[in-house]
């Protein structure tokens, strides 16, 4: 801890914020290969929750690297730091009473578990967007796999850098075959079963 820096307690607790919002605050951490549909799913879930009256926001891997993490590359060390920063930002949002949908490749289990450990029990849920590598490559929405195969992008997850699948994810969404509507329903149904969100317009 930095010397001469002290923690300042807020007058308003996260519990009070959650009571006013009429729902719990937590992190849904979407992990998976590039092209597995993490951001698409996170944004669709955000709209569903927002439309039903929840305070919710998306933290997206590419967007964050335009600002907060613009100084980081894609080495293992830089990825570790990227996840540390995002974890701290997500924690601040949760403390403010907001549901956080974090969409990041986040290839290393230890990084994802470090984020989980920074939040109280029951405020971090790992969502594995399970999608075969060949399907992700066929989609290749940003043309990244093609560049990685040519050696133009070093340290690319799934090609020249590893991806460590979750061992016991809280939710698994097979994005190989499901439609986005089916994926959203799966997530919302899980959240309702866990009493994390209120009954909205999703039936």
Calculate what percentage of the chain has a pLDDT beyond 90: 75
- Consult the annotation and say whether 144 binds a ligand: no
DSSP bridge pairs for 27: 100, 124
52 is annotated as an active-site residue: no
* Spatial distance between the Cα atoms of 56 and 65, rounded to a whole number of angstroms: 20
Choosing from 13, 52, 70, 106, the catalytic residue is: 106
Chain segment 110-154, per-residue pLDDT in tens:
999 999 999 999 999 999 999 999 999 999 888 999 999 999 999
- Consult the annotation and say whether 158 binds a ligand: no
The whole-number average pLDDT for the span 19-45 is: 94
Domain ranges of the chain: 21-52+64-193
Q: Is the model's pTM score more than 0.75? A: yes
- Consult the annotation and say whether 96 binds a ligand: no
Class of domain 21-52+64-193 as given by CATH: alpha beta
| Structural contact between residues 184 and 45, judged by C-beta atoms closer than 8 angstroms | yes
Chain segment 77-99, per-residue pLDDT in tens:
999 999 999 999 999 999 999 99
DSSP per residue over 143-161, as a string?
A: SHHHHHHTTSSSS-BTTTB
Chain segment 150-196, per-residue pLDDT in tens:
999 999 999 999 999 999 999 999 999 999 999 999 999 999 999 99
* Total residue count of the chain as it appears in this document: 203
DSSP class of 129: E
Mean pLDDT of the chain: 91
């Amino acid at each position: 801890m930095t010397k001469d820096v002290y923690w300042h307690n807020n007058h308003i607790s996260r519990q009070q914020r959650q009571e006013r919002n009429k729902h719990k605050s937590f992190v849904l951490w979407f992990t998976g290969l590039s092209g597995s549909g993490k951001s698409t799913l996170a944004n669709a879930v955000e709209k569903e929750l927002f439309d039903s009256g929840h305070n919710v926001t998306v933290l997206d891997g590419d967007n964050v690297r335009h600002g907060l993490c613009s100084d980081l590359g894609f080495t293992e060390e830089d990825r570790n730091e990227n996840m540390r920063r995002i974890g701290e930002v997500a924690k601040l949002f949760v403390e403010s009473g907001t549901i956080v949908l974090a969409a990041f490749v986040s290839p290393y289990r230890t990084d994802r578990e470090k984020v989980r450990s920074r939040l109280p029990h029951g405020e971090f849920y790992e969502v594995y967007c399970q999608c075969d590598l060949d399907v992700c490559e066929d989609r290749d929405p940003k043309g990244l796999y093609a560049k990685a195969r040519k050696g133009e992008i070093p340290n690319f997850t799934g090609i020249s850098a590893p991806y460590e699948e979750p061992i016991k994810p809280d939710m698994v969404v097979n994005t190989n075959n499901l439609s986005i509507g089916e994926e959203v329903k799966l997530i919302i149904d899980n959240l309702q079963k866990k009493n994390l969100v209120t009954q909205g317009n999703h039936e």
